[in-house]
């Protein structure tokens, strides 16, 4: 997301109104126009796909004094495509401040990496479309807003709904489910898991907590989600619990408790095949299968960039404690390798 060069609010006479009633400043508009000319490959590919949805999605959309990479005002959704510099601590603090401001205006913010937007465009578009359709008010007949063709009704949200008020904007208090959760297909397990599949790992946002095998099960009596932490002492554990709680509350599942279980202990064997592919596409070498037969210190690793096994470990710790720093001796690129556990 771009931002205005000035922090102070613009005078009312210098601000323009967007379709949802918010305003933006002249300098934010200038920044948006400049950003449209300097899109990354991932942003361009994502925009080409999003515009085909005909859901009234805007690119480089000015909101207040900021510029969102993509926004759907009617669904109150902001989509950010983050490059490497968004991983820097100083930038993360600024992103957190912007996200907090956007949430105060009723927007939901979802972030993808530029690599995901470029290499996994279809999956990213599918997730964005699902979020928008959940948030739009279901209407039948001709000409309803959101740009969906005549006769098409928005997909009902999982559980109680996507935290919608009567106008379709995000509200502070999620509605109570109209019907109690049912068993079997479409029951509590399916509906809760559909919500949790959108919760990313806070340290490796390319994968979800479901991909990592953190979710051990969903039970109805009493309603609860069982989770198992990854590495002992992982600093992301508390953040993951908070993200799960927030996702469940926003989807109307306030009655579902979160229970931590530590027996059996988590292992990298629980990472799904899809999760391993996501790690590789993100530039992280996934751990080998068969944790019991491998030591934490691996003899070799496949380079996620050129697939060479001519590699060497250069540090026991990478960007996080659960990863080691490796280097490819063929393409000479450094990369993280997820430790086997």
Contacts of 38 (CB under 8 A, 6+ apart): none
**Residue with more model confidence, 178 or 101:** 101
**What mean pLDDT comes out for the span 31-55?**
80
Can you state the angle between helices 188-196 and 237-250, rounded to 10 degrees? 120
Q: What pLDDT was estimated at residue 135? A: 84
Q: Per residue in 136-181, pLDDT tens? A: 865 444 333 333 322 223 333 322 233 322 222 223 333 333 223 3
Cα separation, 61 vs 103, whole angstroms:
16
pLDDT of 240 > 70? The answer is yes
Cα separation, 45 vs 272, whole angstroms:
27
SS3 content of the chain, % helix, strand, coil (to 5): 30, 20, 45
Provide the whole-model pTM.
Answer: 0.46
- CA 328 to each of CA 161, 311, 337: distance values in angstroms, whole numbers, following the listed order: 47, 4, 11
Contacts 24+ apart (CB under 8 A), 23-28: 23/64, 24/62, 24/63, 24/64, 24/65, 25/62, 25/64, 25/65, 27/65, 28/2, 28/4, 28/62, 28/63, 28/64, 28/65, 28/66, 28/67
SS (H, E, C) 177-215: CCCCCCCCCCCHHHHHHHHHCCCECCCCCCCECCCCCCE
Q: Give CA 8 to chain center in angstroms.
A: 30
Contacts of 231 (CB under 8 A, 6+ apart): 266, 321, 322, 341
DSSP-assigned letters across all residues of 226-271? EE--SSTT-TTHHHHHHHHHHHHHHTT-TT-EEEE--SSPP-GGGS
Cα separation, 251 vs 176, whole angstroms:
10
Fold that domain 188-266 belongs to in CATH: GMP Synthetase; Chain A, domain 3 (3.30.300)
Cα separation, 301 vs 336, whole angstroms:
10
**What mean pLDDT comes out for the span 27-53?**
75
Q: Give CA 268 to chain center in angstroms.
A: 22
pLDDT of 70 > 70? The answer is yes
Tokens describing residue 290: 């068969």
Q: What pLDDT was estimated at residue 311? A: 93
Bridge partners for 247 per DSSP: none
Q: What pLDDT was estimated at residue 33? A: 56
pLDDT of 22 > 80? The answer is no
- Dmax (CA) of the chain: 68
Q: What pLDDT was estimated at residue 185? A: 44
Residue 142: CB atoms within 10 Å: 8
Q: What pLDDT was estimated at residue 222? A: 82
CATH number of 2-135: 3.40.960.10
Query: What's the length of the chain?
Result: 341
**What mean pLDDT comes out for the span 91-102?**
85
Q: Where in the chain is the domain with CATH 3.30.300.130?
A: 188-266
Which residue has tokens 């039970």?
219
Q: Per residue in 168-218, pLDDT tens? A: 222 333 333 322 333 344 578 889 999 999 999 988 889 999 999 999 989
Strand pairing class (77-82; 66-72): antiparallel
The mean pLDDT of the chain is 75
Q: Where in the chain is the domain with CATH 3.40.960.10?
A: 2-135
Tokens describing residue 175: 């509605």
Q: Per residue in 308-321, pLDDT tens? A: 999 999 998 888 88
Q: What pLDDT was estimated at residue 223? A: 87
**Among 220, 292, 307, which Cα is nearest to 257's?**
220
Q: Per residue in 272-288, pLDDT tens? A: 999 999 999 999 999 88
Q: Per residue in 107-147, pLDDT tens? A: 999 999 888 898 889 999 999 999 998 888 654 443 333 33
- How confident is residue 297, by pLDDT bands cut at 50, 70 and 90? low
Percent of the chain with pLDDT over 90: 34
- How confident is residue 238, by pLDDT bands cut at 50, 70 and 90? confident
> Contact at 8 Å (CB) between 199 and 279?
no
């Amino acid at each position: 997301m771009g931002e205005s060069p000035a922090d102070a609010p613009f005078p009312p006479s210098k601000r323009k109104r967007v379709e949802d009633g918010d305003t933006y400043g002249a300098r934010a508009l200038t920044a948006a126009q400049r950003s449209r000319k300097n899109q990354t490959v991932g942003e361009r590919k994502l925009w080409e796909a999003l515009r085909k949805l005909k859901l009234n999605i805007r690119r480089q959309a000015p909101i207040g004094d900021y510029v969102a990479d993509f926004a759907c005002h009617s669904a109150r959704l902001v989509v950010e495509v983050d490059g490497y510099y968004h991983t820097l601590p100083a930038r993360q603090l600024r992103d957190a401040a912007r996200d907090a401001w956007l949430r105060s205006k009723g927007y939901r913010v979802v972030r993808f990496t530029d690599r995901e937007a470029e290499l996994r465009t279809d999956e990213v578009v599918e997730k964005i479309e699902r979020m928008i359709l959940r948030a739009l008010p279901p209407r039948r007949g001709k000409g309803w807003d959101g740009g969906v063709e005549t006769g098409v009704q928005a997909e009902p949200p999982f559980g109680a709904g996507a935290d919608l008020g009567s106008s379709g904007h995000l509200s502070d208090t999620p509605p109570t489910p109209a019907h109690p959760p049912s068993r079997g297909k479409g029951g509590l397990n399916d509906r809760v898991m559909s919500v949790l599949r959108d919760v990313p790992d806070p340290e490796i946002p390319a994968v979800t907590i479901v991909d990592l095998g953190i979710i051990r099960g969903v039970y109805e009596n009493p309603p609860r989600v069982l989770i198992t932490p990854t590495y002992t002492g992982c600093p992301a554990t508390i953040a993951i619990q908070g993200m799960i709680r927030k996702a469940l509350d926003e989807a109307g599942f306030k009655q579902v408790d979160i229970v931590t279980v530590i027996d059996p202990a988590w292992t990298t064997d629980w990472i799904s095949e899809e999760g391993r592919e996501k790690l590789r596409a993100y530039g992280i070498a996934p751990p080998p299968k068969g944790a019991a037969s491998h030591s934490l210190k691996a003899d070799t690793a496949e380079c996620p960039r050129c697939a060479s096994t001519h590699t060497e470990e250069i540090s026991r710790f990478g960007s996080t404690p659960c990863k080691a720093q490796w280097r490819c001796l063929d393409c000479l690129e450094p990369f993280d390798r997820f430790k086997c556990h």
